[in-house]
Each structure stands twice: as C-alpha cells, then as structure tokens.
Amino acid sequence: MICPNCGSNIPDGLAKCPACHVDLEHPAKPHKAEGVWCESCGSLVPDGATVCPHCGMPVGQTDDADPRQSAIEAGEATGDLNSDRERTNVMPRIESAIPPEDDGDSPVAEHDRMPRARVMVITMAIAVAAVCGFVLLVTHPWNPQAFDTRAKTDANTSMAGYPGKITELKGQDSSSSSDSQKVTSGDDATYKKLSSAYKKLVKLEAKVDASEKNFDKIAYSGTQTERQAGCDNAQALVYEISNLISDIKQIDVTSGTYTDDANNLTSLGNYMRNRMDALYDAWKRSAKSSDPQADQKIIAEPLTDTDGSSITDRYKKLFEDNYKDWKPQKKSS
C-alpha cells in the first residue's frame, strides 16, 4: 500500500507508516491545497506569490483551475483519494554515464587508438635499448685505448743494433706492404739527423761570416742604431749555434756506428761558437760606446789573442779545414 501522508510504499496491514509514523488506521483528511501550481517545476505556490519559492520562475495568476487541483478536489468529492495524483515531485532526467559506442572508422576512434599504440611501441623500444645497452656495458666494458698500438712503456732496442726506443707496436701480419710502413733502423735514423745537423752548421757558418764583415764595416764608424742592430743579430747567432750543438749531443749513437761523426759535428759547432762568442763581445762594446773611433782598441780587444793573433781567424780556419772531411757518410748496417 501507499502511505497517504508521505507517499511511501509500505507493507499492507501496518498500523503506522515506518517512514513518517503517521497513524494509518485513522488517516487525516488531506487538506485542500491553497495556492497555484508552478508551471515550471510543479511545486505549490502560495496565493499572492509572484515567484515560485522552489525554482524562482514567475508565476502568473489565472482564473483557470489547475488540472491537478481539480483532480484532487474531485477525489475529495468521491472519496477516492489517489496518493499518486497528490505527488507533485518531478523525476529528474538521468544521463547515462556510459558514452555511446563510436564507429570504428570514425576520426575520433582512430585518434583514440593510434596514439596509445604508438606510445606503447616507442616505450617498449626505449626499454629494450636501455636493457641491451646495460648488458653490453656490463659484459663488454668500453676501453678507449683498445685500438691504441703505442707501447705503454718505451722499449729500449739499443742492444739489438737499433739505438733508440720503440714507441709503436707493429704486427708482422700487417695488411699494408708499402714502403711508408717499413720500419727504419736506428742507424738510419741517426744518419738522417746527423746529416741535417751538418747542413745547419754550414748555413750558420755563412751567417757568422756575414756578421764579421758587417762588424768590420760599421763597428767603428756606424751610427748607434746600426751598431745596436749588429749586436742583436750577433746575440741571436750565439743562441742558434748553442742550440744546434745541444741537438747534436742528443742524437742517439749508442750503437757506435756514428759516434765519430757526432763528435766531429760537435767539434765544428764548438769552433763556430768560440768564434761567434769573441765577435759578440766586440759587438757589445761597439754598441755601448758613444765614440767608437776613440774606443777602437777597447772594442777590438775580444778579437785578439794574447799573442796578437786573431781569435776569429783561428776558429774560422779550423772549421773550414775540417767541415768537408767531417761530413757524415752513410755506413752499411
């Protein structure tokens, strides 16, 4: 049955409504509703109100009776009260939470499917690459010097007839057989260095000759600027000769094949340096003198030996008498 007071569905035979606790054996006569029904929400609007108190919509005053009000009054006259007609609540529309199924060929469905599949493929590829890279790193650690053919410690081969040190490893199964890949013996390398030093000695000797000629020309009569320039040039020659002698002494001749040649070149270099040292001292005195004509004896003092002979002439003769005979000659190994 339906409770006449609250409209709840309740079991038949109950004395009181379990919802509103109204006495069902002596139901109260429903009072006549006073007011008009809202056309928007169906709520009862009191007489005299122009706006519905529930939905806020304006309510027009009409003389026509509301059909639902007439039905209630008719029910009162006949005594047949229908509780369903007295209920004025409106059932709200409930939207389905499940979206409609799209067509599989529609752009929306294609857009929903493709990015997800693409993202999954890319993610799986990155994961596989990361795992493979980690496994490769663990099982085959990278060695930046794996293809370095240079020896970590230089090998001394002087006792094997190859003076010097080997700094590069070359396999016997080299695929290249060109002449550029052939190993040069230590003696051959020594000969090349000695020959190069000999050519430099000859060129420096020519520069020393030019410096001495310039000294004879301007040392006692040239301007201060000219004499200072000649002094600077002489100093540069002294340094150049000293460096060349040092380079000759560093040439490896431990095999003994070119020991004499290296000693001869060192002697030639010393002749030239002794000559240039005396000439440089004279240049310095000339550059410092304010009256080189008056200081001519003082300026020329470094060039003269105790016995009155010329120091520069003596060392020049020693060089010229020996430099042709002391030219390094290639020896068969």
Q: What would the pLDDT profile of 111-162 be if each residue is shown by its tens digit?
A: 555 556 777 788 888 998 888 888 777 776 666 565 555 555 665 555 544 4
Mean pLDDT of the chain, nearest integer: 77
Rounded Cα distance between 237 and 233, Å, is 6
Strands 150-156 and 44-45: unpaired
- Length of the chain measured in residues: 333
Half-sphere exposure of 311 (CA within 13 A, CB side): 19
- The phi, psi pair for 33, rounded to 5°, reads -70, 135
Q: What per-residue confidence (pLDDT) applies to 167? A: 56
Rounded Cα distance between 193 and 330, Å, is 12
Whole-angstrom CA distances from 236 to 7, 86, 204, 214, 276 are 124, 127, 11, 15, 10
Whole-angstrom CA distances from 104 to 13, 94, 109, 113, 116 are 57, 27, 6, 10, 15
- Asked if residue 55 lies in contact with residue 40, where contact means CB atoms within 8 angstroms, the answer is yes
Percent of the chain's residues with pLDDT above 90: 40
Q: What per-residue confidence (pLDDT) applies to 94? A: 52
Rounded Cα distance between 181 and 177, Å, is 7
Neighbours of 272 (CB within 10 A): 25
Q: What per-residue confidence (pLDDT) applies to 79? A: 45
Rounded Cα distance between 30 and 72, Å, is 9
Q: Which residues contact 164 (CB under 8 A, 6 or more apart)?
A: 157, 158, 186, 189, 252
Environment class of residue 247 by beta-carbon count within 10 Å: exposed (0-12), middle (13-18) or buried (19+)? middle
Rounded Cα distance between 277 and 245, Å, is 14
Rounded Cα distance between 240 and 301, Å, is 24
Please give the model's pTM, rounded to 2 decimal places.
Answer: 0.47
Three-class DSSP category at 152:
strand
Q: What per-residue confidence (pLDDT) applies to 227? A: 95
Task: Write out the H or E segment, with its range, that includes residue 189.
Answer: helix 186-218
pLDDT, tens digit, 9 for 90 and up, residues 206-247: 999 999 999 999 999 999 999 999 999 999 999 999 999 999
Q: Which residues contact 119 (CB under 8 A, 6 or more apart)?
A: none
Q: Which residues contact 151 (CB under 8 A, 6 or more apart)?
A: 166, 167, 168, 169
- Helix 311-322 to helix 259-288 angle (10° resolution) is 150
User: Which amino acid would we find at residue 320?
Assistant: E
End-to-end Cα separation, the chain, in angstroms = 131
Q: Give the pLDDT means over successive 10-residue stretches in the chain (333 positions).
A: 77 80 68 70 79 81 47 46 46 52 55 65 88 77 59 56 52 46 74 94 94 94 94 95 95 91 95 95 95 93 91 94 93 74
Three-class DSSP category at 56:
coil
Q: What per-residue confidence (pLDDT) applies to 149? A: 57
Q: What per-residue confidence (pLDDT) applies to 317? A: 95
